[in-house]
Amino acid sequence: MRDGRITITQFIIEEQRRIEGATGDFTSLLNDVVTACKEISNLVNHGALIDVLGQAGTENVQGEDQKKLDVISNDVFLKTNEWSGHLAAMASEEMEEIYPIPRQYPRGKYLLTFDPLDGSSNIDVNVSVGTIFSILRCKGACQDPGAGDFLQAGTEQICAGYALYGPSTMMVLTTGNGVNGFTLDQNIGEFILTHPNLTIPAETREFAINTSNMRFWEPPVKRYVDECLSGTTGDRDKDFNMRWVASMVAEVHRILTRGGIFLYPMDEKMKASGGTGKLRLMYEANPMSFIVEQAGGMSSTGRERIMELQPSELHQRVPVILGSKQEVERVVEYHKEHDTNAAA
Ligand code: AHM
Ligand code: MG
């Protein structure tokens, strides 16, 4: 492109050229995902002007109230990605069942999972939201895909990314070869490579957790956060800062930019109601874990590496602790010590 700027399309095609035998299907699929995110970005930007704010008056499979934009964004993703012939099926936070590609289109060899509008409690108050997606290979009968085909460990992802609809719209991507960030140039409608090779600093002094759940936390999480709060007056040799946007995309993006740790851990309230976590494995925790690990960070439930979990259901929830390596390691260590003592 003129003046040496690299568009996301050029970037993806150049990546494809490095893969022997690549057919271009994946490149083309990714381009459609990018188009869907641009469309959602446009809707989010226009907000009340085009009457997309507020409740949809429906609930999703998790029993959460859907916002109008949750429903519209989901539809944008389906319509933009269903026709190309690269996908066998899609699955989303907003749909109970998988979405096999309609019969009038050819079915392809990939599966797409997504959270079309993550952090949607922020929409009406005009705070950052995002889209999260993950691409898997369809290993079974791609002509007749079922929910079971999606139940692959995070280590099987071939691409993960998110779009962040913030002061500027950004797209952050990994295909297992590092993490790159692109900013949408609204004038030309293209994402431009602005953040090559994003890496998370191993050390940090910033943590993110919803402290309104403090009384339900397990002891290792409480221990970690107490130490952060005590700063130099406690066992840590530094003072910490705290942030909570309630939009995982914004939190992960901050961590990719300047380090930090994000926790949505298991807690007693969830346990009491038979819950297994807050965030969804297939279209929130796994793609974010892939990105974070590719950027040199770490991601765990506190007890296991998230990407190694064998999913048992499409909308499965998991505890999530991710970010700067040294801090996540410390929280994992606290879980280990706690569980060992409890077993003794
Ligand atoms: P959503 O997918 O329904 O928007 O929920 C996921 C969001 C995450 O982005 C965020 O980290 C978390 O829920 C916030 O939860 P809370 O409202 O408990 O702070
Ligand atoms: Mg979400």
Q: What is the pLDDT of residue 91?
A: 98
CB atoms within 10 A of CB 73: 30
pTM confidence score:
0.96
Give the ranges where 3-60 is alpha helix by DSSP (H): 8-17, 25-46
Split at pLDDT 50, 70, 90, the class of 19 is confident
Cα 292 to averaged position of ligand 2 atoms, centre (Å): 17
C-alpha 58 to ligand 2 mean position (Å): 16
Q: Whose CA is nearest to atom 6 of ligand 1?
A: 119
Q: For residue 246, which atom of ligand 1 is closest to its CA? A: 14
User: Is 70 a pocket residue for ligand 1 (Cβ < 6 Å)?
Assistant: no
> How does pLDDT run across 110-135, given as a tens digit for each residue?
999 999 999 988 988 999 999 999 99
- Is the model more confident about 256 or about 3? 256
Would you say residue 141 has pLDDT above 90? no
pLDDT at 20 over 80: no
Q: Is the pLDDT of residue 2 over 70?
A: no
If you take atom 11 of ligand 1, which residue's CA is the nearest one?
Answer: 248
Please work out whether the CB of residue 92 comes within 6 Å of at least one atom of ligand 1. Answer: no
pLDDT tens-digit map of 31-89: 999 999 999 999 999 987 888 788 878 887 777 778 889 999 999 999 999 999 999 99
Nearest ligand to the C-alpha atom of residue 270: 1
* Distance, CA of 153 to CA of 160 (rounded, Å): 13
User: Atom of ligand 1 at shortest distance to CA of 64?
Assistant: 3
Taken in order of first residue, the domains within the chain and their CATH numbers are 8-195 (3.30.540.10), 206-343 (3.40.190.80)
Q: Which amino acid is at 21?
A: G
pLDDT per residue over 300-317, tens digit each? 999 999 999 999 999 999
Residue 265 near ligand 1, beta carbon < 6 Å: no
232 lines ligand 1 (CB under 6 A): no
**How is residue 230 written in tokens?**
């005590």
Nearest-CA residue for atom 12 of ligand 1:
246
Please tell me the distance from the alpha carbon of residue 220 to that of residue 288, in angstroms, as a whole number: 23
Max Cα–Cα distance, the chain, nearest Å: 66
Closest C-alpha residue for ligand 1 atom 16: 246
Answer whether 149 contacts ligand 1 (Cβ < 6 A). no
Structure confidence by residue, pLDDT tens digits, 186-209: 999 999 999 999 999 988 999 999
